[in-house]
Amino acid sequence: MQIGEKIPIGSDHAGYELKQDLIEYLKELGYEPEDMGTDGTAPVDYPDIAGAVAAAVSRGERKRGVLICGTGIGMSMSANKFPGVRAALAVNEQLAEISRRHNDANILALGGRIHQKLQARKILKKWLETEFEGGRHVRRVEKIARLSLNE
């Protein structure tokens, strides 16, 4: 964990309530959350929010980010269109840990309609505290990057 690290976080309307809770939790953990929207429960298009967070990670402005929609599926699909982004939908702590340890996931996707607040907090904490294992996984992560370049 890097105290004071800026973490962009965004949600659509279905993930708004969970996003608000996770912003407070990130602060409790010593991070500096950057709210990338939305600002309420009025319907919005999740690709717009995913694009804001994913662009910051893709450009190297931020090391990692968090996205929340109804299921986390749409956000992860949208974010993964950006070069260098490895967004992972984690439905439990084990998947959060593996997404970091084996895949060096740099965006965590969650579902506002499938995760309870306490569960989402546990998943987020596990994801934040888990480091990339490296080793044999480096080659695989590099291959993911080349896929987005059509090499």
Q: What stretches of the chain show up as alpha helix (H) in DSSP?
A: 16-28, 46-58, 73-79, 93-101, 117-129, 136-148
Which three-class secondary structure state does DSSP give residue 19? helix
The active-site residue out of 13, 69, 115, 137 is 69
* 102 is known as an active-site residue: yes
Helix (H) or strand (E) holding 10: strand 6-11
Cβ partners under 8 Å of residue 94, min gap 6: none
Query: What secondary structure letter does DSSP report for 45?
Result: -
For residue 74 the two structure tokens come to 């749409």
The active-site residue out of 13, 102, 115, 137 is 102
**CB neighbours of residue 106 within 10 Å:** 21
Q: Which residues does the annotation mark as catalytic?
A: 69, 102
